[in-house]
Amino acid sequence: MSRIRAALGVTRIAVRQLRSDRMRTVFAVVGVALAVLSVTLLAGVGAGVVSTGNEMFDESGRDLWVSGGPIDIAPGSVGGFQNPIPNAHPLSEAIAAHEDVETAVPMAFQVVYVSTDGEEFETTVGSGVPGAGGSSVSIREGKGLTGPNTHYADGTYEGEMTHQAVVSPETAEEFDLSVGDTIHVGGTIANARRNEFEVVGISPTFENFLGTGTVTIRLSELQTLTGNAYDDRATLITIQTAPGTDPAAVRDELAAEHPEYTFRTNQEQLVSLLERQAVVLAAGVSLVGLGVLAGGVLSLNVLLSMIYIQRRSLSILRAVGATRRSVVGIALVQSLAIAVTGYLLAIAVTPLLAVGLNRIALAVTGFEGLVQVPTYAYVAGAGVACGFALLGGTLGAWRAGRVASLTSSHA
């Protein structure tokens, strides 16, 4: 019973000391909170990016992705990019001939000019697909691309264009478009004026994938409008494997048949995209490390300063009969109280900051849900707070012990 009373007494004194210098206490709490927030929010960004990426690939309905190398920027060229896969239509047909492949769809992305009146033009991303309906894109409104791919004409590109376009919701809102309206699309303003397309559908597929508004037309027509028809270039080829097959096994077989191209599963494609942002990810890790370090240094410095400032009151306590253990206990209780309060503040603020960061990310990248704070992020934040409590308490107790020892020696 006496030990309980002693512990309660130490706690009351520690709390009273914290309340006596509230500004320093607040600084210490904020330091711990900043360190915890650095962990929870960065973990939330990492989890959100992976989760959003997996959702996009799952929703695509594709199992394998074929690339031919990086997309080269070609300043001054029509469309602005040099797509890496030549002879895309024949290659897709060869891949589709594999017994375990259901479909192989070449796709291309280029910058195009869009206008509703043929006078004022805006640039947007043009996406090209060969198929009709929902085989390549999911249609929210309208029927999508209908009828045969007449313009490709077995590789001659001499057939009649269908002049059909599917726009993304963002593009439909920007240009005030609905199914049945017409828009001008082209790789240059001149050929955009000459080529009018009917909006036959609204689809979020490529907007979700690219994070920006798009206009989707048939691949051969996009190639013609952007000067890529002569060598049939595409950005990538997506593959849907037959039900019950192992995509990884099909990947290996196709890679052996076409060694000049890279075949990836959904997970491998996501990892490849993240690896391209290695510098950004490294910067993020550095920032969280800096945040944890800065928060820790701030909280420890303030905590030790508090112990130093309390040296007179601790000396008085020691002089009136308080044990050395009680003096050390005061430092430990103060450290624990600051760490717990800082952690609770951080986890209370984390969801609010995550919502704010998601809004900023949506405005900048066009992707939703890029910050999703998982449970393990809060656990990791608790570990950081406890670590600072342990370190701060140990150093504080050591300093408080020195105060007690000095008091005893002078006595």
Same domain, 10 and 133: no
- Which of 216, 233, 260 terminates a domain? The answer is 260
Are 225 and 187 spatial neighbours (Cβ–Cβ below 8 Å)?
yes
Scored b (16 or more CB within 10 A) or e, 333-368 reads bbbbbbbbbbbebbbeebeebbeebbeebeeeeebe
Q: Residue 57 and residue 239: Cα distance in Å, rounded?
A: 12
Helix residue spans in 276-320 (DSSP H): 278-309, 311-319
Write out pLDDT tens, residues 325-349: 666 667 777 778 888 888 899 999 9
In a domain, 270, yes or no: no
Rounded mean pLDDT of 244-256?
Answer: 91
Quote the mean pLDDT of the chain: 78
When comparing pLDDT for 399 and 186, which is higher?
186
pLDDT value at residue 20: 60
Total tally of structural domains belonging to the chain: 2
Rounded mean pLDDT of 222-247?
Answer: 89
pLDDT value at residue 266: 79
Out of 161-170, 239-248, 301-310, the most confident range is: 161-170
Same domain, 103 and 240: yes
Backbone phi, psi, residue 383, to 5° = -65, -40
Give 124's strand partners.
112
Same domain, 218 and 297: no
Write out pLDDT tens, residues 75-86: 445 555 578 899
- Which of 226, 260, 294 terminates a domain? The answer is 260
User: Does 6 have pLDDT greater than 80?
Assistant: no
In a domain, 62, yes or no: no
| pLDDT band (50, 70, 90) for residue 134 | very low
* Angle, CA of 262, 85 and 50, to the nearest 5°: 50
Rounded mean pLDDT of 27-46?
Answer: 79
When comparing pLDDT for 33 and 75, which is higher?
33
Q: Residue 215 and residue 15: Cα distance in Å, rounded?
A: 64
Backbone phi, psi, residue 125, to 5° = -85, 125
> Is the Cα torsion angle 344, 348, 354, 357 positive or negative in sign?
negative
User: What's the pTM value of the predicted model, to 2 decimals?
Assistant: 0.62
Domain of 367, in residue numbers: 2-56+278-410
In a domain, 121, yes or no: yes
Are 282 and 275 spatial neighbours (Cβ–Cβ below 8 Å)?
no
When comparing pLDDT for 249 and 410, which is higher?
249
Rounded CA Rg of the chain: 31
- Which of 225, 260, 295 terminates a domain? The answer is 260
Write out pLDDT tens, residues 179-232: 999 999 999 999 999 999 999 999 988 887 777 889 999 999 999 999 888 889
Rounded mean pLDDT of 117-122?
Answer: 91
Q: Residue 1 and residue 4: Cα distance in Å, rounded?
A: 5
